[in-house]
Each structure stands twice: as structure tokens, then as C-alpha cells.
Amino acid sequence: MSERSFQGFERPDGSVGTRNHLLILSITGLTGPAARRIGRSIPGARVFAMPFGSGLIGEDFEVHRRSLIGLGRNPNVGAVLLIGGHPPQVAEFAAAISETGKPVVALTLDECGHDTLTLTDRGIRAAAGLARDLSRQRRRTAPLSALFVAGECGRSDPSSGLVSNPLVGGVVDAVVDGGGRAVIGETMEWFGTVHLLQARAVNESVASDLADAVRRREDAAIAAGIDLLGDNPGPTNIEAGLSTLEEKALGTIAKGGSRPIQGVIGVAQSPPGPGLWFMDAPAYAPESVTGMVAAGAQLVLFTTGAGNSFVNSIAPTIKISANPDTLARLDSQIDFDGGDVFLGRRDLSDVVPELMDLAMEVASGTLTYGEVLDEGEEVVSRMGPAL
Amino acid sequence: MTKNVTQTTADALMLHDQDGVATALRPLSAGTLVRVSTPAGTRDVRVEEEIRRCHKFALADIPAGSAIRKHGEIIGEATRDITAGTHVHIHNLSGRAGKR
């Protein structure tokens, strides 16, 4: 499978997009309404409006900055209309995104006399030009090594751990073997499996980073006085048959396949090399996925047991389930059916290549149900107080 | 992680030879003999109560306080004596997360 390739959009920095989005990126809450108004005038454009602006401190400041710049730099974004309040901050973000060589137009409320209609007018004109230029690009053959896949699970049940997550793990292994990159996150769901992960860490330092990351999450839960039962596993997981976080975690980490773990990265932090990476991040799917897409993932493999409609807006998100009841109920929302493996009619190892085929097909332009239904969203984590 | 066991026609799945529980692949009725696929082949186990799809049941008696394994790994501890063939879930199985 290492001979695989996909059809993607080449970017000036050598990265390859699985999509060719115009991103209208509002970096402050003040300009969100204008960004959405501009987006409504340019069908197909992706809009992300960060609800926060100033006053963020510490880790929030860093995650906010990395996430916005990272979404702009994601290879699936062909051009960016960047909107904000103050020219210096907008110029700094624009410069960081422009390093990729992609077109970036920056507009500020200050320069529009704080007239939102002027900002809207200038924004629509600029976005229209960017969108037309983007339409001139064509897909070309790209190697598997240009692909960065993210694994995620939401509303898991035991079918996720038995079938869907191992299927994703098989694709992750294939991408890694082909020289590409892969990431899984949801730190809390590594609980009880650290010894298994550490055995795959490339060195002692990575092994201790894995243990430290899990300990910090558990400390946070203890400090907050949270009983993890009912939170993680959550009510849906419990109803579906998952009893403990350890049980859920054994399924969760199966998304990470079997290859060596290169390192632990922070939310929205781009992996410095090929291979499999673990992102130390919140487990809630919307923010977990945005963190991985802001790190550069161009394709998301998202498993669900009981059903979960959430997808990312910038990276196509393939929904995978193996629960026969869920597959029957959500037949026009789940992209990949692993039910035959769950029911024992087929071997897991025979079905992995089929998921790989779908991954390559979607990377090359086939739409996911989430894209057809326009379920995409971005959520950037907030950690603490703001000033 | 999942062992490549033969699942054909099995009603439930034991993932690892050290596991104390099996996962129901279909709804199982109380008092029936069900076929469990294990790494060593299939074996029949009598379930004593209704087990919903994806839920777990004990493959043998599990004394209170002992570790319960799935995938060959510890997923928690029995909080009371568990009889073979009965449901294993949050009422009799507890994890260690957040309990340091």
C-alpha cells in the first residue's frame, strides 16, 4: 500500500491540499458578523470566526494564536481572507500564514473606520477575487508522504474499540509506512494504556512525555473534584456498554495503529517530521479535531459507535462505524461501514484496504456525507481565565 | 491490539486468553447457551441474564476485588462478587481513573 497516491492541490511550500478552500478567517470576535456576511456572499467559502480576541493569557494565548495561524496554513486552504480589528495584530497573523506562499488578503476594522458595512463590502470584493483565482488550480498526483491524517472518535461504544478504531489504525499504519504523518489526540483516553504506548515511544523522553500528559489530565480532573465515571466514559458510552475509562482507552488508542510514536505535540502544533504523533489535547471531539487540523492534518478519520454527526470544516472527515444499529439508522451520514467485521462475516485485515481506498478517494475529491450536509465547524480550546 | 480471532457465527467475543469478560455481538437472552469466539477457538457459555449488544458478561466467576481484563489489559476491578454469565458493567466494575 506504500505505492499509494492521491490527487491533490499543490501549494507553493510543497504541501498538498485534499481540498481547495477559500478561508475567511476572523481573528477577533468583533469581526465575526462581518466575516459570516462575507461568507454568505461567496458560496463554498469556509468561514471561521474566533469568538475571542484580546485578553487571552498563557496557554490560551498560545493555543489561540497557533490555531488561527495553523488553520490558515493548512494545505486544504488555498487562499485566506484575514479579518481583524487592529492592523499590527492582523499583519502579524497574515505574515505567518503568507510564509506558505498562499495568497492572503488582510482587512481591519480600524482601516474601515469601524464601519462594518465598509468592511463587508471590501471583504466581498477581495474574497471574490481570491475565489476566482483558486478555481484556476487543478489536482495533480501527490505521494502518500504528502498526506497527514488525524484519527478521532466520538460517541464511542465497544464496536469502536473492536472494529472501527483498529480499521483506522490500519490506515494510519499505511500512511506512516508511506512516509506520511498521522496524529491522534484525546489525552484523557490514553489512561490505563500508557505502558502500551511507552513501549512504542521512539525514546525515553517521548515515553515520559506520554506519561506526564496523562498524569496532568488526571490531576486536573482530581483538582476539579470530577468523578470521571459519567464524564469519561460519558453517559452515551456507558449506555452503549463501556464501563471504565481504561476500557474506552484501549479502544481509543487502536486508532494510533502499531507504528513507533515519534513524540507528543501540543494543541495545533505542527509535527516536526513524518510518522505517528500524539497530541496532548482535550478529548471533546470538536476541539480535538480543530487542534489536529490546525496542526496541518488534511484528512480526518472519525469513528463512532452510537452515531456522531460532527465533522471538521477544512479537512474532509470520513465517518466510520461498525455498529449495525447505528449503520442502519444513519445510513446517509456514515461514510464507511465496518458492520460486517463486527458481525464476524469478514476479517478486519481484509477491510483495512477498503478504508484506505476510501481515504485516497476522499483525499482526491470525493465528498464525505459531512461535506454534502455542510456539518463542518471549528472549535478552538479555551483553557482558563482571560483578562 | 484486537487479536485476529475467527468471529464467524459467534454470539460474543473474548479478545484475549487472559480476559475475564466477553462482549456480546448481538442481543443475548437470559438462560441461553451462547457461542463465544476466543483466541483458542469457540466455546459455549450460559448467560444468566439479558445482555445487550456490545455489553459484557463474565466468562467465569470473578471474586470482589480482583482485576478484570479485556484486550488482555486491566480495565478495572470487580466491586462485588460476579457470577459467570452475568452482566459486567458500572454496577460491579470500577476503573482507577481519578482515584489516586
Asked whether residue B5 is domain-assigned, the answer is no
Interface test with B, best of A157, A243, A258, A329 (most B CBs within 10 A): A243
pLDDT (average), residues A99-118: 97
- Assign residue B85 the CATH number of its domain: 2.30.130.110
Cell of residue A322, nine digits: 461498525
Q: What is the pLDDT of residue A383?
A: 86
Distance CA A315, CA A280 (A): 20
C-alpha cell at A337: 461501514
For residue A257, give the 3-state DSSP assignment: coil
pLDDT recorded at residue A7: 98
- Say what the pLDDT of residue B8 is: 55
pLDDT of A34 above 80: yes
Give ipTM to 2 decimals. 0.91
B3 domain residue, yes or no: no
Per-residue pLDDT tens digits for B50-79: 999 999 999 999 999 999 999 999 999 999
Query: How many percent of chain A have pLDDT more than 70?
Result: 99
What is the arithmetic mean of pLDDT over A262-286? 96
pLDDT tens digits, residue range A320-344? 999 999 999 999 999 999 999 999 8
Report yes or no on B88 lying in a domain: yes
CA B13 from centroid of its chain's CA atoms: 8
Of A192, A229, A344, the CB nearest to B90: A229
Map out the domains of chain A as residue ranges. Answer: 21-134, 142-377
State whether A254 and B2 contact (CB < 8 Å): yes
Give, as one character, the DSSP assignment of residue A146. G
Q: Output the pTM of the full model.
A: 0.94
Cα gap A101→A98, rounded to integer Å: 5
Is B97 within 8 Å of A348 when comparing Cβ atoms? no
Q: Chain-centre distance of CA A190, in angstroms? A: 18
Residue A70: which region, alpha, beta or left (left: phi > 0; alpha: psi -120 to 50)? alpha
The alpha carbon of residue A384 is apart from the nearest alpha carbon of chain B, in Å, by: 21
**What pLDDT sits at residue B100?**
72
Taking an 8 Å cut-off on Cβ atoms, the answer to whether B2 and A345 are in contact is: no
Q: What is the average pLDDT across A152-181? A: 96
Query: H-helix or E-strand containing A133?
Result: helix A116-134
CA–CA dist A28, A174 (Å, integer): 39
Q: Which chain A residues are within 8 Å of B1, Cβ to Cβ? A: 166, 169, 196, 250, 253-254
Which of A191, A244, A349 comes nearest B94 by C-beta?
A: A244
B4 within a domain of the structure (yes/no):
no
| Domain that includes residue B78, residue range | 12-94
Q: Is residue B34 part of a domain?
A: yes
**Contact check, Cβ <8 Å, A157/B54:** yes
Cα–Cα distances (Å) from A187 to A32, A246, B32, in that order, read 31, 12, 40
Give the nearest partner residue to A344 out of B25, B53, B98, using CB atoms: B25
Q: What are phi and psi of B50, to 5 degrees?
A: -65, 130
pLDDT confidence of residue A232: 83
CA angle, residues A153, A159, A164, in degrees to nearest 5: 50
Domain boundaries A21-134, corresponding CATH code:
3.40.50.2300
The residues near B48 (Cβ < 8 Å, ≥ 6 apart) are B30, B31, B83, B84, B85, B86
Residue B63 near residue B93, CB atoms below 8 Å: no
The stretch A344-373 carries a mean pLDDT of: 96
Residue contact B4–A241, C-beta within 8 A: no
Please write the tens of the pLDDT for every residue from A211-222.
999 999 999 988
Rounded Cα gap, residues A294 and A69, in angstroms: 8
Q: Do A162 and B6 touch (CB under 8 A)?
A: no
Decide if B47 is inside a domain: yes
